[in-house]
Chains A and B, each alone.
Chain A
Amino acid sequence: MTESRTKLGVEKGCVNQLVGTDEDLQRQLAQTILKEKKDFKISIHLATSLPLPAERDHIRPRIDLIVFMINVQSKYGFKNIEASLAHVDANFFLGKVCFLVTGVGRVNHCSVDMSAVRKLGDVYCSPLVFCELELEGIRISTAQRLLRMLQICAGHVPGVSALFFSSLMRSSNDE
């Protein structure tokens, strides 16, 4: 959809989809991303689960990057994300999906096994990014990483495709 729009002369844009049950953190991250300086248009869609409501399908632009926010302190949230993954079109898993993992710092409150999280990354061939979003500094650097990924996934960086980039990220994770 975005392709045809570009042909019509509409400004090139990137669309980011955040999926996760922790609303406050999701919103904070989204606002941090929006604050970052960039030279392209961006819109961020927030949802707690997939599939997205069908009634908005006709006005929704093509999504460039899906970020699943996994909070290892919430088993309920993790199960939600596992269920949502089934609704994602296979094409996205060629580099346009990434897992953001938070809550690892508080070891006593972890309800989700780390091996289950890593397995998710393996099964869906998508990179895991670990961060603690409560701290502003880390939130900003995470936002910058995501923006960079978004640019690549939207095809704005010549010579680097989404698939290539994600395979780079994954091979470094598998050390």
Chain B
Amino acid sequence: MKLQRIETDERERRETQRIEKAERAKRRNVSSVTCLSPVRQNAQTNTDDYQDIISSLPNSLLTHILSFLPIRDSVSTSILSSRWRPLWTLVPVLDLNQVGLVERCSEEKSEKFKFVVVGTLKRLHLRWNVQPSSKYRFQINTPALEYFHFSGNLNGDDVLENLPNVVESVVQIEGCDRINDYAKRVWDFVGKLFNVISLELNAITAQILSHGSNHEDIPTFHYLSSLKFCGSIGFEWYAWHGVRLLLCQAPKLQTLIIEDSFMLGSNLTKPNPFLEERLDVPECISSHLTTCIYKGFGGYENEMELVRQILKAARVLQTLKITVYRIPNLKNRPHFHRELSKFHKSSQNCQIAFDEGYFK
């Protein structure tokens, strides 16, 4: 038996070596397939001639260099030579500050200003603060995208195609033209990220999502493992309903993070009507949620109620971490530590940790 195992190990080791050798050979060959002409090839071997050595790098390494440049510099390399012309479009990372681009295009008479982004794009950070009245729209069709960060306004004709490969995304909608179905539009937008694993939304996005009531249209996020809500919103808005809707659509959610968020409503001394509805236990909370992090906790009644309900519902919760940022009602401070510890916990192993953050 032992002899057989040694033989298999030996065979495996040889096989691994063979594969690695083949890969090295491939990498070696890559660097020789870049010269545009035999003349250049000869020039390369002469080490005294230091002209044009950059051309000995394959496209993959040139685009790797370009990926460290801001988009402006990357685009300007297109003028270096005919080989460099298309390279900036092959860079898998794109960080677009749209403000600069639109200013320059304002002279054009075209109806739409469309971004044409190629299929190799892997990371996109788009800041789009275009007013609804303007004629500029974006159209994103990047099936290979893995990371998508969108901040800005979402207007009627903006188009986002399916993004099945996005695993991490940040959506920070700052404005939306307020026509009747704007909730549906934001749900559609977020729905394109249906395979996302880690999602961060700002409070305004959550607030808009709260208005989506037709549950049939709401997508399910089967792979969503970490959900974060961040940022304060105007005092009249309640975003908890949107959060709850999302929680219902994330059957595998393990981590919930709430950061600096006034989503429970401004008048923190009055009870939040959305929380008065029984927090029907979304499946994820009771069976999958292991970590909950609340940053910016102030010990107010609504926040306490939220934490109480989470502790009650989450049967496999392991960690509840509360960070106190804002100066809470000083009278309450010593109390909420104690009160929270007294809340009923469905999960036997749950640890509650308090972190006194700095006061903002």
Are the chains A and B members of one assembly? no
